Amino acid sequence: MLVIFQKGGPVMYPLLACSIIALTVIIERFLFWAREDVRRNQKLVDEVLDLCRTGQWDKVREKVAGSKDYVIRVLVSGILHREFSMAKAMEAAASDEIKRMRKFMGVLDTMITVAPLLGIFGTVIGIISSFELLGSAGIQHPQEVTAGIAQALITTAAGLAIAILSVLPYNYFNSKVEDAALSIEKYATSLEIVYEKLQGNQCTQETRNES
């Protein structure tokens, strides 16, 4: 492996940096999503919505104490601001959660784009070196010319390998973000409907009492 790396020429060093950065981000995001999946508590979400249907806000606060579920955090934000603008509060909280989930994704996307370009750059350098050697050594020493071609092929392969191995987890992480966003939207909408219905029932009760 070290021999191949050395044959690849100077472009292999930035490619190595790209691979280390991509691998670091991939490991960090895998750990992040493993932690978020463990923190998810669907039963608690359902219990919160049930309590909201009857307006038991104090019990909701007791139930969610210590919860690190991102859906719960969004719902709690809406509940705390229910008398002002529940929808906008949950929208702002959801934006913060999605931003947290997309952390370092731009870095990984950049590595996926840059690595093949660096590979092509190494290819160009290798071909230029080959033509220079061909001009000076002539066809009497073909082994010197093929060394430059080998350098070109190694950098191209390395760049493509980094991009290919990075794009799979990148798409996986994007799908996780999309699923999380759909879950947040689903339960936030449910909470809005529950709260509107509760408000409507209260208004009806007040009207009857006045009558």
Supply the pLDDT for residue 16. 95
Contact 119, 160 (CB under 8 A): yes
- Long-range contacts: 17-26, Cβ < 8 Å, 24+? 18/111, 18/114, 18/115, 18/118, 18/162, 19/115, 19/162, 21/107, 21/111, 22/108, 22/111, 22/112, 22/115, 22/162, 22/165, 22/166, 25/104, 25/107, 25/108, 25/111, 26/108, 26/166, 26/169
Residue 60 corresponds to which tokens in the numbers above? 């909701």
Whether the model pTM is above 0.75: yes
| Average pLDDT for the chain | 87
pLDDT at 49 over 80: yes
Domain ranges across the chain: 10-198
Contact 48, 138 (CB under 8 A): no
Band (132; pLDDT cuts 50, 70, 90): confident
* 3-state percent helix, strand, coil for the chain, nearest multiple of 5: 90, 0, 10
